[in-house]
Amino acid sequence: MNTHGKNIIGNNLSAMGTSSFNAYDVASNSLLPTKFYEATTTEINAAISLAAEAFGEYKNKTGKEKAAFLECIATEIEALEMELIETASKETGLPLARITGERGRTTGQLRLFASQLTEGSWVNAIIDNALPERKPLPRVDLRQMQIAIGPVAVFGASNFPLAFSVAGGDTVSALAAGCTVVFKAHPAHPATCELVGAAIIRAAKKCNMPEGVFSMVHGISHQVGHALVTHPLIKAVGFTGSLKGGKALYDAAVKRESPIPVYAEMSSVNPVVFLPEILTQKAGDLAEAFAGSIVMGGGQFCTNPGIFLLLKNESSTNFIQLLTAALTAKPSVALLTNGITDAYYQGITHQRNTEGAIGLTAFDANTPQPHLLQIDAQMLISNPSLTEEVFGPSSVAIIAKDMDELIECILHLKGQLTASLHGTADELKNAGVLVDLLQEKAGRLCINAFPTGVEVGNAMVHGGPYPATSDSRTTSVGTQAIYRFTRPFCYQEFPDHLLPDALKESNPLQISRLVNGIRL
Amino acid sequence: MNTHGKNIIGNNLSAMGTSSFNAYDVASNSLLPTKFYEATTTEINAAISLAAEAFGEYKNKTGKEKAAFLECIATEIEALEMELIETASKETGLPLARITGERGRTTGQLRLFASQLTEGSWVNAIIDNALPERKPLPRVDLRQMQIAIGPVAVFGASNFPLAFSVAGGDTVSALAAGCTVVFKAHPAHPATCELVGAAIIRAAKKCNMPEGVFSMVHGISHQVGHALVTHPLIKAVGFTGSLKGGKALYDAAVKRESPIPVYAEMSSVNPVVFLPEILTQKAGDLAEAFAGSIVMGGGQFCTNPGIFLLLKNESSTNFIQLLTAALTAKPSVALLTNGITDAYYQGITHQRNTEGAIGLTAFDANTPQPHLLQIDAQMLISNPSLTEEVFGPSSVAIIAKDMDELIECILHLKGQLTASLHGTADELKNAGVLVDLLQEKAGRLCINAFPTGVEVGNAMVHGGPYPATSDSRTTSVGTQAIYRFTRPFCYQEFPDHLLPDALKESNPLQISRLVNGIRL
């Protein structure tokens, strides 16, 4: 396929604007030829109008129809074969094997949501039958289920060109919920976006979905995103990216005449606590595994462990030496964009220039290497900037003189996607306080495990208190992510024929329901 | 009991401030003697600090322990006997019978949440067991449940001095979720608040709950509310009241360094659509029932039907005549406060002064009477202020020349708590489009029923799109309200003994769980 660089507005391609940009080949450090046309206000409004029109039809598609659509998207993505893998690898610098794995995650995610829709119980059907004889007042017939919230704007992330991009978790959970989607392509991999966007349109046509169920706009300026988020017909926003970017969208959304929810996954350093005895027993294995977690995906995962806390003693000194050696042995990595490379260099430089901070690994501005810094706990407490995310393969060791100081450090942390705790069975027996404190700070807590590698399943929480996300009440990974794009609705005294199938008295979908307080 | 007018800070009474106010006796139109002391910043901070400390202990109480606490609050409220009923009636002007009924609703609500906690499945336990042999990657053990979000600020409403006040739906659902509560008493019924606040403290002591699980501050200025909502240790806000008040709290909360969710239930005119044939068949019964809905609770319910839509024809003319007669026959009512009485007079005056609007009932500024206005559909479309809430026993008839115009009116409506549709069986057969459109605008849709009378159960949704509430994803009435004050949390690779009981492998609580995708 020849890359055209145009916006996908419903079923049409459009390039009305004069502003354009090119994608970048990370390996050769050079611009790629195709011009991508930034969407104009007219194009953005057209995409949103189509999304709003399509919503009326799409939300009433059955679960099986929506499931078939998601499965068809997966099939269309697989049909892109190596063209997709190679394009994504070129635009991001991520290796072919990693992109291939990520494609599997993306299509697996589509099929997981499809199976959730096919099964159908996710709508949380609740039925309270009428009790006409109840005293002092009769009860009317009341039925509740989750319904789609409306057209949604989704912003792709740079670090997962497939799994958190065009057909990624936000888009899929919104489509599964019954929402239509206007997607803002990430300018760091626009050709990849074009391929996947076209795959979704093909799937939509094959499955007789209404035009506008999905549109995709390009943009490298902030205006495109702002126009999407502030449009009155957009009812929710999904975003994965920087704190600055997510906060800007959040601020725009809450100032609207009708504020809307923004699910921005933004910033996390994913603290790891190592208790002393486990470091005595397993220093070598832990150092190797932890180094692997730090460099996984070039350190460009939201769950990258950017800080770790240990008590000052021989076993932690030994562990840090082993970890330094393990990280030094790792190759340098090409980061996703020049912007990320620059920010990585600046972040590490800021850390190393902090008085008292010890750079444990070599550092060269020209080749982004895995990096390790060591500071004392009191430095973290007095200088919170040392716990800000440095996006890339780096981590900061925080040495506490005793458990009280370590706990004080935890209390000073902001909200996180994850926290991790390593200890022996004996150490964990008395770790209730630590578990409680880490839970307050995060959306997921790993015991004797590292946070990288986010399972797409039912029980995953990829979320957490601010600034990890803008809304700790949700997850952006796994089947529960669907509830970001729904709201509860109550049907009072409805005749059976007007009820959705999920709430009809005979339970034609055979789903699990809460009926008069009993789970059936 | 002698009313003391002090703030309840943990287990202590406090009156450090110099600013005070008196409650009002609505019947005699005179100030009541007790001075209520507005909380100072020191007192507010002390209450929040205690709430944060108590949270660490309270969140880990078992469901049964929390249930016993809620049940004990209900018992303590009942033990207040007529003193509570008479105090609330005096401060609000609501009749003794209404307050007595509301007390039953309040204690019933406490016991409903207690039963939800005792049963235990509400935590939404989800378990994905480890799959060590899975290819290409093993699956780790992941478990998810809802956990309490943190200390919560709750603002009481003026129109339900018991059910939406100190021990009302917001407080109870927050306590049920495992959150500690700092309650802002409503200055229109502070003595009632004092009685119920003391009942909660007695229950907390009897049930060995930590000091700070509940505090209550007084305030008539905006500063008290602002200080609560902007305090960094407060993690969510519950509010029922005016659009202006709710929006101010929302704006303060989203500007915090760490934004928090605000559940503000604010403004709704609860449109009712009457199809023509049902008006031909049942005009008399419907007029009587609708008049009853308009004046219920002095018209001071959030679900009061403030507008209704009909087609221009003989049957609707007849219906409006019957409704006018029914409303004229209703007595005038004492509204909750002088402020509400003034606003009611101003709202009705604004309506009646609008060119083309027809006042169908008499109107006298001195005695707030039930009021009916009639306008043409085009007036609503060109002048949206005619659909703004006038709090009190009034409604506006909107006459559309045909169904297209009626639908255009619906499209012009803002978000609502409820909508209602009346039609014969035949009319409803073809009402799919109307049902769809009304659903977009509301949180609950009643068929051949009126929206007043909000059942406290499992299936109720008392919520809806902005400005009905600040967050359409929730309900403030019924058991599902608990989820406003929780967030999902994921436990990865936890040893069984560190897991909460709800997620332990043996399922000691015997609750319904989603295990490896299967509902058990």
A265 part of the active site:
yes
Q: What is the pLDDT of residue B147?
A: 98
Q: Chain A partners of B259 at a C-beta cutoff of 8 Å?
A: 250, 254, 466, 470
Interval A107-132: pLDDT, tens: 999 999 999 999 999 999 999 999 99
Distance from CA of A251 to the nearest CA of B (A): 8
B57, B490, B510: best to mutate for the A interface, most A CBs within 10 A: B490
Q: How far apart are CA B148 and CA A436, in angstroms?
A: 12
Beta bridge partners of residue B446, listed in sequence order: A492, B420
Model confidence at A1, pLDDT cuts 50, 70, 90, reads: low
DSSP E strand boundaries for A211-345: 214-217, 236-240, 262-265, 272-274, 307-311
Model confidence at A368, pLDDT cuts 50, 70, 90, reads: confident
| Residue recorded with tokens 């507008």 | B307
Q: How far apart are CA B431 and CA A495, in angstroms?
A: 11
B43 part of the active site:
no
Whole-model pTM: value is: 0.97
Q: What is the pLDDT of residue B127?
A: 98
Whether the Cβ atoms of residue A182 and residue A234 lie closer than 8 Å to each other: yes
Interval A137-182: pLDDT, tens: 899 999 999 999 999 999 999 999 999 999 999 999 999 999 999 9
Which among B235, B214, B194, B166 is positioned nearest to B10, based on CA atoms? B214
A458 closest CB neighbour out of B415, B466, B517:
B517
Q: What percent of chain A has pLDDT over 90?
A: 92
Q: What is the pLDDT of residue A384?
A: 84
Q: How far apart are CA A280 and CA A314, in angstroms?
A: 8
**DSSP state at residue B448:** S
- Compute the mean pLDDT over every residue in chain B, rounded to the nearest whole number: 96
Q: What is the mean pLDDT of residues B360-382?
A: 90
Could you tell me which CATH number the domain at B28-122+142-266+471-485 has? 3.40.605.10
Model confidence at B1, pLDDT cuts 50, 70, 90, reads: low
Q: What is the pLDDT of residue A42?
A: 98
A488 closest CB neighbour out of B126, B448, B461:
B461
Tell me whether B473 touches chain A (CB under 8 Å): yes
A492 closest CB neighbour out of B449, B467, B493:
B449
Crossing angle, helix B222-230 and helix B243-254, to 10 degrees? 40
**Active-site residue among B72, B193, B302, B446?**
B302
Which among B488, B487, B458 is positioned nearest to B475, based on CA atoms? B458
Where in chain A do CATH 3.40.309.10 domains reside?
A: 272-447
Model confidence at B106, pLDDT cuts 50, 70, 90, reads: very high
Q: Which residue has the higher pLDDT, A386 or B6?
A: B6
The pLDDT of residue B365 is above 80: no
What are residue B22's phi and psi, to 5 degrees? -115, 150
Using alpha carbons only, what angle is made at residue A198 by residues A193 and A199, rounded to the nearest 5 degrees? 100
Interval B422-468: pLDDT, tens: 999 999 999 999 999 999 999 999 999 999 989 999 999 999 999 99
**DSSP state at residue B486:** E
Q: What is the mean pLDDT of residues B469-477?
A: 97
Q: What is the mean pLDDT of residues A180-196?
A: 97
Q: How far apart are CA B15 and CA B37, in angstroms?
A: 6
Sheet-wide strand order for A12-14: A12-14, A7-9, A214-217, A181-184, A152-155, A236-240, A262-265
Where in chain B do CATH 3.40.605.10 domains reside?
A: 28-122+142-266+471-485
CB contact under 8 A, A455 and B142: yes
**Can you spell out the DSSP letters for B222-256?**
HHHHHHHHH-TT--EEEEES-HHHHHHHHHHHHTS
Q: Chain B partners of A429 at a C-beta cutoff of 8 Å?
A: 497
Tell me whether B306 touches chain A (CB under 8 Å): no
CB contact under 8 A, B258 and A466: yes
A519 closest CB neighbour out of B147, B493, B512:
B512
| Residue recorded with tokens 């609860």 | B270
Q: How far apart are CA A296 and CA B113, in angstroms?
A: 45
Distance from CA of B2 to the nearest CA of A (A): 33
Tell me whether A477 touches chain B (CB under 8 Å): no
| Sign, Cα dihedral of A307, B149, A473, A106 | positive
Q: What is the mean pLDDT of residues A357-373?
A: 89
Residue B370, Cβ neighbours under 10 Å: how many?
A: 24
Interval A41-62: pLDDT, tens: 999 999 999 999 999 999 999 9
Q: How far apart are CA A510 and CA A502, in angstroms?
A: 8
Q: What is the pLDDT of residue B2?
A: 85
Whether the Cβ atoms of residue B345 and residue B369 lie closer than 8 Å to each other: no
A135, A410, A473, A507: best to mutate for the B interface, most B CBs within 10 A: A473
Using alpha carbons only, what angle is made at residue A311 by residues A306 and A313, rounded to the nearest 5 degrees? 125
Contact residues for A36 (Cβ-Cβ < 8 A; gap 6+): A5, A20, A21, A22, A23, A185, A187, A190, A218, A220
Where in chain A do CATH 3.40.605.10 domains reside?
A: 31-265+471-485
Question: ipTM beyond 0.90?
Answer: yes
Interface of B with A in 69-128 (CB under 8 A): 101, 104, 121, 126-128
Residue B20, Cβ neighbours under 10 Å: how many?
A: 14
Show the DSSP H helices in A96-189 as ranges: 96-119, 169-177
Q: What is the mean pLDDT of residues A187-192?
A: 97
CA distances from A271 to A465, B268, B289, B490 (A): 14, 45, 61, 15
Q: Which CATH class for the A272-447 domain?
A: alpha beta
Contact residues for A402 (Cβ-Cβ < 8 A; gap 6+): A311
Q: How far apart are CA B114 and CA B95, in angstroms?
A: 29
Q: Token pair of A242, please?
A: 């920087």
Q: What is the pLDDT of residue B293?
A: 95
Half-sphere exposure of A266 (CA within 13 A, CB side): 24
**Active-site residue among A265, A405, A409, A446?**
A265
Q: How far apart are CA A266 and CA A240, in angstroms?
A: 6
Using alpha carbons only, what angle is made at residue B111 by residues B106 and B114, rounded to the nearest 5 degrees? 130
Count A/B contacts: CB-CB distance under 8 Å.
202
Residue A285, Cβ neighbours under 10 Å: how many?
A: 11
CB contact under 8 A, A490 and B461: yes
Least confident of A261-265, A299-303, B162-166, B304-308: A299-303
Model confidence at A14, pLDDT cuts 50, 70, 90, reads: very high
- Compute the mean pLDDT over every residue in chain A, rounded to the nearest whole number: 96
CB contact under 8 A, B467 and A415: no
Protein fold of A31-265+471-485: Aldehyde Dehydrogenase; Chain A, domain 1 (3.40.605)
Q: What is the mean pLDDT of residues A308-322?
A: 97
**DSSP state at residue B336:** S
Which among A262, A245, A186, A268 is positioned nearest to A462, based on CA atoms? A268
Q: What is the pLDDT of residue A453?
A: 87
Q: Token pair of B358, please?
A: 């027809």
CA distances from B444 to B112, B419, B430, B454, B486 (A): 21, 6, 20, 10, 23
Tell me whether A474 touches chain B (CB under 8 Å): yes
Interval B332-351: pLDDT, tens: 888 888 889 999 999 999 99
Q: What is the pLDDT of residue A386?
A: 85
Using alpha carbons only, what angle is made at residue A402 by residues A400 and A403, rounded to the nearest 5 degrees? 100
**Can you spell out the DSSP letters for B338-373?**
HHHHHHHHHHHHHHHTSTT-EE-S---TTS---EEE
Q: What is the mean pLDDT of residues B3-20?
A: 97
The pLDDT of residue B14 is above 90: yes
Q: What percent of chain A has pLDDT over 70?
A: 100
Distance from CA of A490 to the nearest CA of B (A): 4
Q: Chain A partners of B261 at a C-beta cutoff of 8 Å?
A: 471, 473
Interval A88-108: pLDDT, tens: 999 999 999 999 999 999 999
| Longest Cα separation, chain A | 79
Q: What is the mean pLDDT of residues B58-68?
A: 98
Q: Give the gyration radius of chain B's Cα atoms.
A: 24
Which among A260, A263, A52, A59 is positioned nearest to A176, based on CA atoms? A59
CB contact under 8 A, A459 and B512: no
Interval A500-520: pLDDT, tens: 999 999 999 999 999 999 999
Distance of CA B477 to the CA centre of its chain: 6
